């Protein structure tokens, strides 16, 4: 962080706790969050944290989210991939306790990528060189598409009408969705969805996007034009990608000083109450 001139980092686990059976998942998530809280406590001016939850037990997950926010001062929750071993998404009614709690606490859910379901991997990504298949199904394409579909399902299921204070964060410039918003509004109009808002209206009002280490200027300029500076939060992808060029990317971006301030820290301070 010092070498990259990064003042504060929000820490999180990317372990897929949803694959752990319910009783064990609760104790593991609690222990993991307690350990994270101790690390934040050592450097409170440099670190904050997102919770990891026992998704196999949605009621316990909601309780753990409440505990971590109220007692440990966590800033939200991170979900890696789909929230259950049976490959369902957050629009499934069984996850309403978690969504209701996040909405009540006004803390975001970071939609981190995870591996596609095995049936999807076999149908879409198998049959190539094993290394190529693995990379294509994961950080090359597959897990970005997974998050994009996940968020679209939440929008189309009316989740944000039911939970109007719920906010999501999506990395990698919004996991493909922003680049298709115009197409989605045309293909899935309000007449088709029977929702009061278009997909783009809901996305822009309920999803923040981050670069997640994808420091590419054309993507950034497109997102800035479509979503606006108020919906971009700067992030790195450490330890998968180094921090060396992160700050320079934003400092050299051809945008106004006020937009740089919003993206560098202002939006995160507002959303995460830093």
Pick from 241, 242, 259: which is nearest to 250 by CA? 259
In angstroms, rounded to a whole number, what is the distance separating the alpha carbons of residues 256 and 252? Answer: 11
Residue matched to tokens 């679209």: 152
Given a contact cutoff of 8 angstroms between Cβ atoms, the answer to whether 116 and 148 are in contact is no
In angstroms, rounded to a whole number, what is the distance separating the alpha carbons of residues 246 and 250? Answer: 7
What size, in residues, is the chain?
Answer: 274
Pick from 210, 216, 248: which is nearest to 3 by CA? 248
First to last CA, the chain: 18
Structure tokens at 261: 């301030």
Q: Is 230 a catalytic residue?
A: no
Query: Which of these is catalytic: 45, 63, 237, 259?
Result: 237
In angstroms, rounded to a whole number, what is the distance separating the alpha carbons of residues 3 and 20? Answer: 37
- Crossing angle of helices 142-156 and 199-206, in 10° steps, is 110
Residue matched to tokens 């409440």: 66
In angstroms, rounded to a whole number, what is the distance separating the alpha carbons of residues 240 and 87? Answer: 25
What backbone torsions phi and psi does residue 176 show, to the nearest 5 degrees?
80, -30
Q: What share of the chain is helix, strand, coil (3-state, %, to 5)?
A: 55, 10, 35
What backbone torsions phi and psi does residue 261 show, to the nearest 5 degrees?
-65, -45
Active site residues per annotation? 237
């Amino acid at each position: 962080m010092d070498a990259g001139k990064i003042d504060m980092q929000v820490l999180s686990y990317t372990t897929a706790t949803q694959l752990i059976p319910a009783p064990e998942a609760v104790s593991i998530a609690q222990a993991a969050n307690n350990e994270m809280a101790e690390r934040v406590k050592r450097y409170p001016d440099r670190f904050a944290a997102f919770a990891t939850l026992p998704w196999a037990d949605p009621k316990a997950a909601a309780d753990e989210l409440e505990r971590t926010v109220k007692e440990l001062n966590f800033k939200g929750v991170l979900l890696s991939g789909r929230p259950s071993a049976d490959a369902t998404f957050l629009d499934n009614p069984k996850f309403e306790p978690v969504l209701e709690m996040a909405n009540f606490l006004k803390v975001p859910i970071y939609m981190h990528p995870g591996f596609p379901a095995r049936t999807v991997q076999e149908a879409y990504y198998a049959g190539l060189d094993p290394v190529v298949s693995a990379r294509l199904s994961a950080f090359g394409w597959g897990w970005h598409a997974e998050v994009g579909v996940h968020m679209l399902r939440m929008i189309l299921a009316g989740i944000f009408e039911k939970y109007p204070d719920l906010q999501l964060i999506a990395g990698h410039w919004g996991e493909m969705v922003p680049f298709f918003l115009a197409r989605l509004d045309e293909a899935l109009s309000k007449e088709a969805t029977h929702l009061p808002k278009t997909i783009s209206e809901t996305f822009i009002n309920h999803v923040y996007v981050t670069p997640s280490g994808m420091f590419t200027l054309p993507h950034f300029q497109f997102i800035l034009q479509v979503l606006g500076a108020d919906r971009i939060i700067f992030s790195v992808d450490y330890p998968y990608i180094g921090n060396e060029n992160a700050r320079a990317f934003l400092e050299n971006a051809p945008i106004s000083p006020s937009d740089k301030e919003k993206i560098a820290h202002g939006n995160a301070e507002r959303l995460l109450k830093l």
